[in-house]
Chain A
């Protein structure tokens, strides 16, 4: 158990809909990261938050957005869903003491999203 929790575990929805994925980092961790793992793309970095502020952005679509709240939990919002958004979405966290540099990221169990 990494200490990172994600809800829900599974999500089935229809194209055009909007969903929210939730992540609680390990106790004491200030940085939260979101990754997408789809069948043909492997694990791709989406976005990082550090203590409530956006720190780094990867290949995140404009239809997707995220935020980190004062209690440090994070939410990833996916809107206007398409079939190709079906994937595993992982959240990870790290201490953030070094601004995230050379820190180990600990992953949650993931949310499996299926868009029909």
Chain B
């Protein structure tokens, strides 16, 4: 049962253009969402997060949008840079009284071409 899904295994964009990575979830108990970036042979690196009380959060070139009714979130990277090439994971955590397990999507390999 895949509760967090990233349907695009890969995405290729030109340097300077916008990269849009998508993520869908099924568990309505999820109320905090995060994006991580992962380079080969390294651990996931935190990028940006959003709480379910918001629909948008911005940090520099990265913006995350949350559509609760559609159970969908997206990460926008503008402008995209070659150094952004990595695997991007969407993750979610539920409303729980204790603990904070992250449920991850399968990841999307982003390639930014110079």
Interface residues of A (CB under 8 A from B): 2, 4, 6, 31, 33, 35, 42-45, 48, 55-56, 58, 90, 92, 94, 99-110
Knowing A107-B43, A107-B45 are in contact, say whether A42-B98 is a contact too (CB < 8 A): no
B113: which A residues are within 8 A, CB to CB? Answer: none
Closest 8 A-B residue pairs measured CB to CB?
A56-B99, A100-B100, A107-B43, A43-B104, A45-B101, A102-B32, A107-B44, A55-B99
A101: which B residues are within 8 A, CB to CB? Answer: 32, 93, 95-96, 100
Interface residues of B (CB under 8 A from A): 31-32, 34, 36, 41-46, 49, 51, 89, 91, 93, 95-107
B98: which A residues are within 8 A, CB to CB? Answer: 55-56, 99-100
With both beta carbons as reference points, the residue of chain A lying nearest to B95 in the complex is identified as A101
In contact, B101 and A90 (Cβ under 8 angstroms) = no
In contact, A56 and B44 (Cβ under 8 angstroms) = no
In contact, A2 and B99 (Cβ under 8 angstroms) = no
State how many angstroms separate the Cβ of B23 from the closest Cβ of chain A.
13
| A107 to B25 alpha-carbon distance, docked (Å) | 22
User: Which of the listed residues B44, B49, B99 has the most CB atoms from chain A within 10 Å of its own CB?
Assistant: B99
State how many angstroms separate the Cβ of A38 from the closest Cβ of chain B.
12
| A90 to B41 alpha-carbon distance, docked (Å) | 11
Knowing A42-B105, A42-B106, A42-B107 are in contact, say whether A103-B100 is a contact too (CB < 8 A): yes
Knowing A33-B101, A43-B89, A56-B100 are in contact, say whether A102-B51 is a contact too (CB < 8 A): yes
| A6 to B42 alpha-carbon distance, docked (Å) | 11
A102: which B residues are within 8 A, CB to CB? Answer: 31-32, 51, 93, 100
CB<8 Å pairs between A and B, sample of 15? A33-B102, A42-B107, A43-B102, A43-B104, A44-B104, A45-B103, A48-B100, A100-B99, A101-B93, A101-B100, A102-B31, A103-B100, A104-B49, A105-B46, A106-B46
Knowing A42-B107, A101-B96, A104-B34 are in contact, say whether A56-B101 is a contact too (CB < 8 A): yes
